[in-house]
Amino acid sequence: MIVAVASGKGGTGKTTVSASLASVWKRPVMAVDMDVEEPNLHLFLRPTWASAESVHLAVPLLDEDRCRLCGACADFCQFKAISLLGKHLMLFPEMCHGCGGCLSVCPEGALRRGQRELGTVEVGITGEAIPCLTGRLRVGEAMSPPLMRTLLGKAWAQKELEARDMVIDAPPGVSCPAMTAVRGADVILLVTEPTPFGLHDLRLAWKAFRPLGIPMGVVINRAGLGDRNVQGFCEENVLPVLAEIPFSRDVAEHYARGGVLARLDAGMKERFEALAERLERMALEGVTHA
């Protein structure tokens, strides 16, 4: 099974929860950091890296001698990566989504495949033999989903080969990167905090992910802080609160040292083991909310 740990709001504790879930998971598991703009799951899990490979997107290159300025490629491109301006065919490779359509519509064979580097995919393994996969978006690259899909493909292959479950640390937000991270999951775990900000973005995430038809549950981090409105929202919308992590100095200090929260003490370990069990049950049962 695949559990995606997501949230609308950043900084709610997705990575804290992901690292803890991976560390208490009963069956063989792997951890995948899909927050490729700022990957940090490895800071908790501390894998030894075994490999790193560059990931590229195919973008067009122009052979000006062959181009007859017919504009077929520019008409085809929906992303303005090619523009015919008077007697100039201009390529904007940073705008390209890599569909390859321009290459196939060019009647002169004037376009060929070039490459734009998206970032890297790194593979490692922790001391507890948990494989860790991380994507790292090239600084300056605007598009993360293509790198995320490559990362996910690699993770899937290993998951199938080694019969592992997968914990995905998703990026925050509710747009393409977040959707790319959660859409193949069996269950989505939304991490939030009991503040107006946590509630606001939890509602957004819930609305964005609901059409996927994947069961969702909630972890309330920093419980005891703020108000009870997050609990109220969850009750109203039949969104199960699967665990609460108390707002405490012990938790904050452990986090500040880069410790995996589930290893703080026996109580915290049990809390995450119970969470893992509930997630497995939800994944088996399918959608439980409206």
Partner 1 sequence: MRSAPASILAVTSEGPTLADQVDPRFGRAGGFVVMELETGAFRYVDNGSSQVLPQGAGIQATENLVKAGAQVLLTGQVGPKAWAALEAAGLKVVQGVEDMTVAEAIQRFRAGEFAFSDAPAH
Q: Which residues bind partner 1 (CB under 8 A)?
A: 79-81, 83-86, 88, 90, 92, 94-95
- What is the residue-wise DSSP string for 141-197? ----HHHHHHHHHHHHHHHHHHT-EEEEE--SSSSHHHHHHHTT-SEEEEEE-SSHH
For residues 97 and 210, which CB has a smaller minimum distance to partner 1 in the complex? 97
Residue 252 CB-density burial (10 A; 0-12 exposed, 13-18 middle, 19+ buried): exposed
CB of 111 to partner 1, least distance (A): 17
For residues 49 and 79, which CB has a smaller minimum distance to partner 1 in the complex? 79
For residues 176 and 274, which CB has a smaller minimum distance to partner 1 in the complex? 176
CB of 80 to partner 1, least distance (A): 2
Phi, psi for 12 (deg, rounded to 5): -85, -20
CB of 100 to partner 1, least distance (A): 18
Neighbours of 186 (CB within 10 A): 18
Nearest-angstrom CA–CA distance, 14 and 171: 9
For residues 98 and 124, which CB has a smaller minimum distance to partner 1 in the complex? 98
Residue 78 CB-density burial (10 A; 0-12 exposed, 13-18 middle, 19+ buried): exposed
For residues 84 and 125, which CB has a smaller minimum distance to partner 1 in the complex? 84
Neighbours of 229 (CB within 10 A): 15
CB of 79 to partner 1, least distance (A): 6
- 3 state SS of 237: coil
- What is the residue-wise DSSP string for 97-129? ----HHHHH-TT--EEEEEEEEEEEEEEE-TT-
For residues 95 and 208, which CB has a smaller minimum distance to partner 1 in the complex? 95
CB of 194 to partner 1, least distance (A): 35
CB of 104 to partner 1, least distance (A): 20
Residue 166 CB-density burial (10 A; 0-12 exposed, 13-18 middle, 19+ buried): buried
Token duo for residue 99: 């569909």
CB of 120 to partner 1, least distance (A): 24
Q: What share of the chain is helix, strand, coil (3-state, %, to 5)?
A: 40, 30, 35
CB of 143 to partner 1, least distance (A): 10
For residues 97 and 269, which CB has a smaller minimum distance to partner 1 in the complex? 97
Token duo for residue 152: 């996910």
Nearest-angstrom CA–CA distance, 287 and 214: 6
Residue tagged 């077929």 (tokens): 72
For residues 87 and 257, which CB has a smaller minimum distance to partner 1 in the complex? 87
